[in-house]
Amino acid sequence: MNQNIPLNLYTVNRPLLGTVIESRRLTPDSRGPKNDVRHITFRFEEKLPYLPGQSAGIIVPGTDSRTGKPHKLRLYSIASVGAGDLGDHQTVSLCVVRHFWDNAATGEKGIPGLASSYLCDLKPKDQATMTGPVGRHFLLPEDFKKRDLIFTATGTGIAPYRGMLRELFETGYEGHVALYFGVQYRDVALYDDEFGAIQKRHPNFSYYKAISREETNPNPNEVPTRDNKMYVQALMYVHRDELKKSFEKPDTMIYLCGLKGMEAGIFPVLEQIGAELGEKESFVAKLKSRQQLRIEVY
């Protein structure tokens, strides 16, 4: 694992002030506010060291009326490569979805999340205070150059892979990387153009989308999914021969990022792959114990 991980350089007591230089909606307006996902780039006066896969904390101004204390920090995965979108080490980009929730106690529905609304409403030239970087686990290994990598994402869980993929291909990556991205509709696949362009340039990158509301799971008996929808795990099952080739190599790594609960769908497929490779014990446990499985779900 990387020995030089920048950590907690900025804290709640000593935050970093960033200025928004870009806020771009990544999904069509026609998909409504619940599918409002933004790519937001902040620029700093100084250089901010970070690694793809780390997160930044966002401090929402004001106090929580329930506690009378400052709002709790919210974490967001960094969606840019270490040098930042501008390449000068002075920016960080986030990929934020507007969160809405229902209050069971009061019956109120569709309440906008505090930090995600704050971030999505920011305009260029607005300023925000941030902390971080944090996270030492969801990172590329230092010796990634020849390793096969499998990235799986749902929703904004795609964010860290945007930076990681740039890191890989800007430094002469020679392994094979597969990205499995679970989305509801084809037109809400975040950064789809960017991933498509990388795939065209690099035959060692495979980009696959599981489009749950437009595609059907062809193997519902083997991999049950709700209403037979096409989820990431169903697509991974279809591709298990290709995945087995990667997992035959002893140093292949798999990453899961996005919705809490996605592990429950993907782990059985990994176990199936392990069994077909002759594993007698749990393949997931083996991958975990060998640090080859990385999970960031929220």
- Catalytic positions, please? 76-77, 257, 296, 298
- Shortest CB 214 distance to ligand FAD, Å: 23
Q: Which ranges of 150-205 would DSSP assign to H, the alpha helix?
A: 159-170, 192-201
Choice between 58 and 243, CB closer to ligand FAD = 58
Backbone angles phi, psi at 179, to 5 degrees: -115, 120
Q: Which spans of this chain sit near ligand FAD (rule: CB under 6 A)?
A: 55, 74-77, 95-97, 99, 101, 103, 113-116, 156, 159, 296, 298
Q: What is the largest CA-CA distance in the chain?
A: 57
Closest distance between ligand FAD and the C-beta of residue 14, in Å?
A: 21
Question: What is the distance between the alpha carbons of residues 159 and 165, in angstroms, rounded to a whole number?
Answer: 11
| Shortest distance (Å) from residue 34 CB to ligand FAD | 12
Q: What is the DSSP string of 212-272?
A: TTT-B-S-TTTS--GGGB--HHHHHHHTHHHHHHHHTSTT-EEEEEESTTHHHHHHHHHHH
Of 160 and 265, the one with the shorter C-beta distance to ligand FAD is 160
Residue 101 or 248 having the CB closest to ligand FAD: 101
Cα separation values, 99 from 22, 33, 85, 119, Å: 20, 9, 25, 11
- Least separation in angstroms between residue 65's CB and ligand FAD is 8
Closer residue to ligand FAD, CB minimum distance, 115 or 243? 115
Please identify, using beta-carbon distances, which residue of 80 and 272 lies nearer to ligand FAD.
80
Rounded to 5°, angle at Cα 75 from 14 and 297: 150
Q: How far is CA 46 from CA 11, 60, 287, in A?
A: 15, 21, 39
CA distances from 181 to 229, 240, 279, 296 (A): 14, 16, 27, 15
Q: Which residue is nearest to ligand FAD (CB)?
A: 113
Q: Please report how close the Cβ of residue 22 comes to ligand FAD at its closest, in angstroms.
A: 16
Backbone angles phi, psi at 110, to 5 degrees: 65, 40
Query: d(Cα 165, Cα 53) in Å, to the nearest integer?
Result: 11
